[in-house]
Chains A and B, each alone.
Chain A
Amino acid sequence: RKEVEQDPGPFNVPEGATVAFNCTYSNSASQSFFWYRQDCRKEPKLLMSVYSSGNEDGRFTAQLNRASQYISLLIRDSKLSDSATYLCVVNINYGGSQGNLIFGKGTKLSVKP
């Protein structure tokens, strides 16, 4: 099983739609979870951290399900500017240290007018 798996998409949605991305991870000991967004030919930028209780930032909601080892990102009222690749990021710790961040390959979102 790959360490961090995402549906590559692309997800093509109209403006105003609600879209959800899921991501699964393999290491049950993982403690840190993030969503990053990456625009074409740009660096990844932190979108939000994912907390155990779930968290919301404006139109974006992130949730963590430890039992099933997946995290999700929900985007409401999609904007054209949300078009990007969304990276699921999890720390993988094989013991003895904090562990490094492992990046998923990303899910591409295209929001159309």
Chain B
Amino acid sequence: DAGITQSPRHKVTETGTPVTLRCHQTENHRYMYWYRQDPGHGLRLIHYSYGVKDTDKGEVSDGYSVSRSKTEDFLLTLESATSSQTSVYFCAISEFGQAYEQYFGPGTRLTVT
């Protein structure tokens, strides 16, 4: 299994609070991604990174920001959490680029009350 961890694995927070999710990889892969998965939807890309300090928006980026200060870490921040951001968040990595195989972390279940 790819060396990807996510923290926290579960979180319950209140509407309006900031939340930061962390993805850590030990594979030294250049590309990292944040997805959310909701019932009735496929995995949807939030943001991705193609290198340290290089990030770009995905399909559902509103309300989210990201940062990547080291190759191994990719942070997802919800500046002011809303109930619509209740979801399962997956981090993924890929070695060669966006169109290539991606490997996923175990996910974070976030509930916003």
Contact = CB atoms under 8 A, between A and B. Distances in A.
Interface of A: 4, 31-32, 34, 42-46, 49, 87, 91, 93, 97-106
A101 B90 contact: no
B43 interface: yes
B98 A101 contact: yes
A93 B99 contact: yes
Interface in B84-110: 90, 97-107
Contacts of B58: 100
Contacts, number: 51
B42 A100 contact: no
Given A31-B99, A34-B101, A43-B90, A100 B107 contact: no
A98 B99 contact: yes
A48 to B, nearest CB: 10
A102 B42 contact: yes
A46 B35 CA distance: 16
25 contacts: A31-B99, A42-B106, A42-B107, A43-B90, A43-B104, A43-B105, A43-B107, A44-B43, A44-B104, A45-B104, A46-B103, A87-B42, A87-B43, A100-B48, A100-B58, A100-B59, A100-B98, A101-B99, A102-B42, A103-B35, A103-B43, A104-B42, A105-B40, A105-B42, A106-B42
B43 A97 contact: no
Nearest to A2: B42
A102 B102 CA distance: 12
Contacts of A42: 106-107
Contact of A99 (B42, B99, B101, B104): B99
Contacts of A31: 99
Given A42-B106, A105-B41, A98 B90 contact: no
Contacts of B42: 4, 87, 102-106
Given A43-B105, A105-B40, 7 more contacts: A45-B104, A46-B102, A49-B101, A87-B42, A91-B99, A101-B98, A103-B43
